[in-house]
Structure 1
Amino acid sequence: MQYIILLRGVNVGGRTIKMAALKSCFEENGYQNVQTILQTGNVIVQANEKNIAKLQKKAEAELTAAFNYPAKVLALTPEQLENIVRQYAFTNIDAGFHRYIVFTENGFEKQLVKDCGVLDKNMEAVKAGAGVVYWCVQKGYTLDSAFGKYMNKMAVKHFITNRNVNTLEKILAKCG
């Protein structure tokens, strides 16, 4: 089966993993047709594992051993990711905004949206989806927006990883 594996916290905050090393790690652990996309910890693999939760835990253990950090990943099928991207909540935004999807665990997306505080509606908007938060934010304010600051604070306590929708579309284009 084909899977997309999104690593959390790669090539940010002083943790650098070269994509060639990441690809080698997966290949050495028996994954086939390994592709990395961009420099942000996006991997497409073929694996025999049918249980996605087991695959996720296995990948985390392998990455932790190879790169000496407490790896956290999210594994998805291409169909799951395509469905998430297709449901992006903000369709009428102009080119002055980034489109992000924030991936969470255990229903945390609802709490994240509920507790993020008052947002400047001219700068950003958020909406909870199934296991994700859809977020649009004015370019240049991703880290300085109210939701961006809150999300970074919560990432210390919960699994959160985000990707630009453009990146996710590039990943999906490589699946097949």
Structure 2
Amino acid sequence: MTRWIALLRGVNVGGITVRSADLRDLFRELGFANVSTVLASGNVLFDSEDAADDLKPRIERALGERFRYDAWIVLIDRATLERIAAAFPFERADEQFTPYVVFGSDPALLRDLADAAGVPDPAVESVVLGDGALYWRVVKGRTIDSPVGKLLAKGKYRTTTTNRNLRTVEKLLAA
């Protein structure tokens, strides 16, 4: 049995409201065990024997049908999440910067995103491409309007990536 984390993109923003209780119910109806949610930003932990390639489209289809939106998720197993979190290359607690991990379903698009970001102004943000994630730190309050924040909003990346604050990642690991 594998412990999975489904990271939903774009819920509880932009008019798409998905209550945690409803999300847990859906995952239980899909037959998953030990279902829990963390925070109200679309983080679902569950156990399944199924492979990621089978789970991802099944979950996205069910989310879209139940909540009536174009659902995209990044699906990651707990061991991989643990490895990604441990490799975070920046200061974990910083008064000036917010630490993020950008997760992606398509490694080629994560590389493309890192290439598109180039070498950002370190006074505003920094990025490092890791194994399975893009690590990003940005000046607090600049997440949406920073160059990398604007890249993440583009349609090219929107369906395959989602970001989480490092504190959220740590809460997922503690759950």
Global fold match (TM > 0.5):
yes
Q: Report the equivalent of 2:18.
A: 17
Distance in 2 between residues matched to 1:150 and 1:37, nearest whole Å: 26
User: 1:54 and 1:142 mapped to 2: Cα distance?
Assistant: 33
Residue 71 of structure 1 corresponds to 71
Equivalent pairs, count: 173
The change in CA–CA distance for 1:158 and 1:36 in structure 2 (over 3 A counts) is closer
Cα distance change, pair 44–158 in 1 and its aligned pair in 2 (3 A): closer
List aligned pairs for 1:160-171, cutoff 5 A: 160-171=161-172
Q: Which residue identity lines up with residue 20 of structure 2 in the other structure?
A: M
The amino acid of 1:109's aligned partner reads L
Task: Specify whether residues 93 and 28 from structure 1 end up closer, same or farther in structure 2 by C-alpha distance, changes over 3 A only.
Answer: closer
Partner of residue 37, structure 1: 38
Question: Tell me, which stretches of 5 or more residues in structure 1 are unaligned?
Answer: none
TM-score (norm 2): 0.91
SS in 2 for 1:168: helix
| Percent pairwise identity | 39
Alignment of 1:6-155 (within 5 A): 6-49=7-50, 51-91=51-91, 94-104=94-104, 105-116=106-117, 119-154=120-155
RMSD of equivalent CA atoms: 1.7
Q: Aligned pair in 2 of structure 1 residues 46, 116: CA closer, same or farther (>3 Å)?
A: same
* 1:3–1:45 CA contact under 8 A, matched in 2: yes
In the TM superposition, what is the alpha-carbon distance from 1:92 to its structure 2 partner? 6.9
Query: Where do 4+ consecutive residues of structure 1 move more than 4 Å?
Result: 154-158
Listed as ranges, the gaps of 5+ residues in structure 2 are: none
User: Would you say the 8 A contact 1:107–1:131 is kept in 2?
Assistant: no
8 Å contact from structure 2 (residues 114, 134) kept in 1: yes
Post-superposition Cα deviations, 1:65-123, rounded to whole Å, max 9, x if no partner, equal 21122211122111010001111121376222110011121421121121125522111
TM-score, normalised to structure 1, is 0.90
Which secondary structure does the structure 2 equivalent of 1:107 belong to? Answer: helix
